[in-house]
Structure 1
Amino acid sequence: MNLRQLFLQHVAQTSAFPLMLEIDSAQGMYLHNKEGKAYLDLIAGIGVSCLGHKHPAVVEAIKTQADRYLHTLVYGEFVLAPQVQLAELLARQLPDSLESVYFVNSGTEATEGAMKLAKRYTGRAEIISCKKAYHGSTQGAASLMWPKDFTQAFHPLLPGISHIGYNCEWCLQDITSQTAAVVVETVQGEWGVRPPTEGYLKKLRQRCTEVGALLIFDEIQAGYGRTGTLFAFEQYDVVPDILLLAKGMGGGMPIGAFIASREVMLALSDKPILGHITTFGGHPVSCAAGLATLQTLLSTDYIQQVKQKEALFLELLKHPGIREVRSAGLWMAVEMIDFDFIQAVIKRCLQAGLLTDWFLFNDRSLRIAPPLIITEEEIRWACEVILDAVEHTFKDRGLTRWDVLH
């Protein structure tokens, strides 16, 4: 059996139509198959490879740490330099109230830890999240998801979860003195890149403060320069009580974190002791990679270039088959007609050597979230491929401008 057949037989599948690209190597902006064909990666492993694939600084940090030690003991017992250095550098980039970092393995684990922390610190049970938000797939994190298309088969999930509309100021009255925390994406991702409306996050912050609920910002996708600042919340003059990070944090290695004040975080260490534990969270190699990633972002102008690169995408992506382009830095949703149209565009792009994707709660939009290192030349080529794919799909389906508008 060849590798593709073994993949289908022995690697658990998550859909009936995997992309089935057999990746042999990767470097910078490109993935390569075993025949040597290059694919420009326009989704960065769903926001993970913010510095591209196999960035030299990240690879060197991984090799150096692997030569020293790997796993030693469960998280929080030993003083490990990669953990301490990464936590300290993170804290220096954040407001003073976000000083204590709890490292985990992924975004969904960051969500789970923050939910437990909020309940323990406030002594309350209710957690509120926004409709059409995605915070992870484990049972607690999945309980935050609405609509229930992706969760109904696994019910009952966690009780005490309520949902409000994102950007709905009237809905803020649903946050009460019974609410432990409100979990919100600073920019909603899987609904197809929806930034907050003017003043919404400030009013959300005010309401949480009024009733004593903790405000949790999920920046698992929005963080690490994706929106044009290291953290998206910096652009809205609002500080959360807990911050969730992952994806781009490790430069390609698995790592996540939830971050709070030391006062809040200490709630997990008492009554009961070991209120939240993890074996592999904060793995030394992942933390070393995370440290190299953050140092590289801070010492280069990749983040400063985001808005300029965003503007170029917006300038070029114009076609009767494109209804709208929503963006938050180098994170865009190119809305078209329907799911079949999007799938046809994705397939044609793939044939041309361009890797794209769609969104969990918006199957009419094309996902663009490239590594931050993408060049102007690569942006122009990617847009040419997308527009060509849209044009061919437009003609193949016999569509007119009227069909798009209606």
Structure 2
Amino acid sequence: MSGFVFGEKPIQVASGDGVHVYDESGTEYLDAGASYACAPVGHCHPAVVDAVESQASDLLFVQGSYPTETRTALYDRLADLAPGGVENVWLCNSGTEANEAALKFARHATGRETVVAAKRAFHGRTLGALAATWKQQYREGFAVPGNVEFVDYGDADALAEAVDEETAAVLLEPVQGEGGVNPAPEGYLQAARDACDDAGAALVFDEIQTGLGRTGSLWACEQAGVEPDALTVAKGLGSGLPVGATLVADWIAEDAGDHGSTFSGGPVPCAAALATLDVLEDEGLAANAADVGDYLRAGLSALDVRDVRGEGLMVGVEVKRGANRALRALALEHEILALPAGRTVVRLLPPLTVDERHADRVVAALDDVL
């Protein structure tokens, strides 16, 4: 069990409402970070718990080369939910694996090696994904492979200039998460689409943090009306169980090369993912994220802060005196768990089940802390 970062008492249990967790002394914390967006339907949602328990009692695991009912169902469900034509699904265990697969598939399908990524991007910590991750502290000492060109996020002209006949893929987050919660400027994702079309490169959207209703629609790219050639998803897909996916268009799937994983599409994570997707749809959580997100950002904008930005329930609050101090005070003085996004940004990624009462509590606490 991981220790609770702000104190000596580890988190022990989650509450029935899904938005709170408790330490061993019984102190209740509002989880406004959802463990880096890994609990979109709340902690221990009954439907997810039931699905996991049922599957675990039936079949815990079988290798990926044997078809199973749950894996096939998840393939079909993700294909049905995919934006545009990215209906070919490969399952994995994490976001970084999903991005690794997307980069491998794009390179093989195009016969090219260069990747264009954005400054301040975060795509994972394995070597391929790490190569497209901007922050030097993650890269230092690991002999990260080259063939990645970084451009300023949001600069459409710089992006267009960087993409050429040697570009295999453009890899972008529709809203940067780790880099400071930076939404794409209007027209930027379309400019990326145009640049890829002109050069014959693959446009890959990393929706590992933005997907599954977080920004107010199932996929953030839908709000911009832009269809990628590949899309990656993980984090909240299994409500905390390790499962991710790479969705690709036909032209990539037809020449994706050789790839695989022993644990790809394990029965229990697939059951959790199917139940999570059911809850997201049945409870209208994307719409709730849009509504409560607007309400939360409006309240935060009245505070003495440098900036409030984001989409839906993916919110960044840029503070004046550093994020870590604010995060510690939120946890110890107000029993609210939040996250950093760089040195000066408090990141809020609560379960999509939160309501205006929870938003009011977060705003009041930040007002007091700041």
TM-score bracket for the superposition, by shorter chain length: over 0.9
TM-superposed deviation, 1:170: 1.5
Q: Provide, for residues 67-97 of structure 1, a one-character-per-residue CA deviation record: whole Å limited to 9, x for no partner.
A: 1111112x2x211111111121111122452
- The aligned residue for residue 174 of structure 1 is 162
Q: Provide, for residues 139-162 of structure 1, a one-character-per-residue CA deviation record: whole Å limited to 9, x for no partner.
A: 1111112242321222x2112111
Q: 342, 346, 349: which one pairs with 2:330?
A: 349
Larger-Rg structure: 1
1:191-270 aligned at under 5 Å gives the runs 191-268=179-256
Question: How far apart, in 1, do the equivalents of 2:360 and 2:36 lie?
Answer: 21
Q: Which runs of 5+ in 1 are unaligned?
A: 9-16, 270-274, 391-406
Q: Provide, for residues 142-191 of structure 1, a one-character-per-residue CA deviation record: whole Å limited to 9, x for no partner.
A: 1112242321222x211211111111111111100001111111111112
Asked if the contact 1:50–1:370 (Cα under 8 Å) also holds between the matched residues in 2, the reply is yes
Q: 157, 160, 174: which one pairs with 2:147?
A: 160
Q: 71, 76, 92: which one pairs with 2:61?
A: 71
Q: Which runs of 5+ in 2 are unaligned?
A: none
TM-superposed deviation, 1:332: 0.6
Counterpart secondary structure, 1:304: helix
Asked if the contact 2:297–2:315 (Cα under 8 Å) also holds between the matched residues in 1, the reply is no
Query: What is the percent sequence identity of the aligned residues?
Result: 34
- The aligned residue for residue 178 of structure 2 is 190
Counterpart secondary structure, 2:165: coil
Asked if the contact 1:103–1:281 (Cα under 8 Å) also holds between the matched residues in 2, the reply is yes
- The aligned residue for residue 272 of structure 1 is none
TM-superposed deviation, 1:20: 4.9
- The aligned residue for residue 368 of structure 1 is 348
User: Could you tell me which amino acid in structure 2 is paired with residue 130 of structure 1?
Assistant: A
TM-superposed deviation, 1:197: 1.1
Asked if the contact 1:98–1:260 (Cα under 8 Å) also holds between the matched residues in 2, the reply is yes
Question: How far apart, in 2, do the equivalents of 1:332 and 1:344 lie?
Answer: 18
Asked if the contact 2:175–2:182 (Cα under 8 Å) also holds between the matched residues in 1, the reply is yes
Q: How many residues matched?
A: 366
Give the direction of change, closer, same or farther, for the CA distance of 1:315–1:96 in structure 2 (3 Å limit): closer
Asked if the contact 1:249–1:293 (Cα under 8 Å) also holds between the matched residues in 2, the reply is yes
TM-score (normalised: structure 1): 0.86
- The aligned residue for residue 357 of structure 2 is 377
Q: 82, 93, 100: which one pairs with 1:105?
A: 93
Asked if the contact 1:131–1:166 (Cα under 8 Å) also holds between the matched residues in 2, the reply is yes
Question: How far apart, in 2, do the equivalents of 1:148 and 1:343 lie?
Answer: 20
Question: How far apart, in 2, do the equivalents of 1:306 and 1:115 lie?
Answer: 30
Question: How far apart, in 2, do the equivalents of 1:382 and 1:166 lie?
Answer: 29
TM-superposed deviation, 1:101: 0.6
Asked if the contact 2:84–2:227 (Cα under 8 Å) also holds between the matched residues in 1, the reply is no
Counterpart secondary structure, 1:136: coil
Question: How far apart, in 2, do the equivalents of 1:20 and 1:141 lie?
Answer: 33
User: Could you tell me which amino acid in structure 1 is paired with residue 50 of structure 2?
Assistant: E
Question: Considering only aligned residues, what root-mean-square deviation do their CA atoms show, in Å?
Answer: 1.8
Asked if the contact 1:192–1:332 (Cα under 8 Å) also holds between the matched residues in 2, the reply is no
Question: How far apart, in 1, do the equivalents of 2:88 and 2:181 lie?
Answer: 29
Q: Provide, for residues 214-247 of structure 1, a one-character-per-residue CA deviation record: whole Å limited to 9, x for no partner.
A: 0000000000000000000111111000000001
Question: How far apart, in 1, do the equivalents of 2:169 and 2:8 lie?
Answer: 40
Q: Which ranges of 4 or more aligned residues in structure 1 deviate by more than 3 Å?
A: 17-21, 318-321
TM-superposed deviation, 1:372: 0.3
Give the direction of change, closer, same or farther, for the CA distance of 1:327–1:19 in structure 2 (3 Å limit): farther
Q: 283, 292, 296: which one pairs with 1:309?
A: 292
User: Could you tell me which amino acid in structure 2 is paired with residue 307 of structure 1?
Assistant: A
Question: How far apart, in 2, do the equivalents of 1:104 and 1:92 lie?
Answer: 18
Asked if the contact 1:129–1:163 (Cα under 8 Å) also holds between the matched residues in 2, the reply is yes
- The aligned residue for residue 127 of structure 1 is 115
Question: How far apart, in 2, do the equivalents of 1:169 and 1:57 lie?
Answer: 43
Question: How far apart, in 2, do the equivalents of 1:197 and 1:357 lie?
Answer: 24
Give the direction of change, closer, same or farther, for the CA distance of 1:199–1:58 in structure 2 (3 Å limit): same
- 1:321 matched to 2:308? The reply is no
Give the direction of change, closer, same or farther, for the CA distance of 1:283–1:322 in structure 2 (3 Å limit): same
User: Could you tell me which amino acid in structure 1 is paired with residue 30 of structure 2?
Assistant: L
Q: 134, 137, 146: which one pairs with 2:125?
A: 137
1:6-45 aligned at under 5 Å gives the runs 20-27=8-15, 28-45=18-35
- The aligned residue for residue 294 of structure 1 is 277
Question: How far apart, in 2, do the equivalents of 1:332 and 1:173 lie?
Answer: 31
Greater Cα offset, 214-223 or 275-284 = 275-284
Asked if the contact 2:6–2:328 (Cα under 8 Å) also holds between the matched residues in 1, the reply is no
Q: Provide, for residues 269-301 of structure 1, a one-character-per-residue CA deviation record: whole Å limited to 9, x for no partner.
A: 5xxxxx111011211100100000001111122
User: Could you tell me which amino acid in structure 2 is paired with residue 234 of structure 1?
Assistant: E
User: Could you tell me which amino acid in structure 2 is paired with residue 376 of structure 1?
Assistant: E
Question: How far apart, in 1, do the equivalents of 2:177 and 2:11 lie?
Answer: 26
TM-score (normalised: structure 2): 0.95
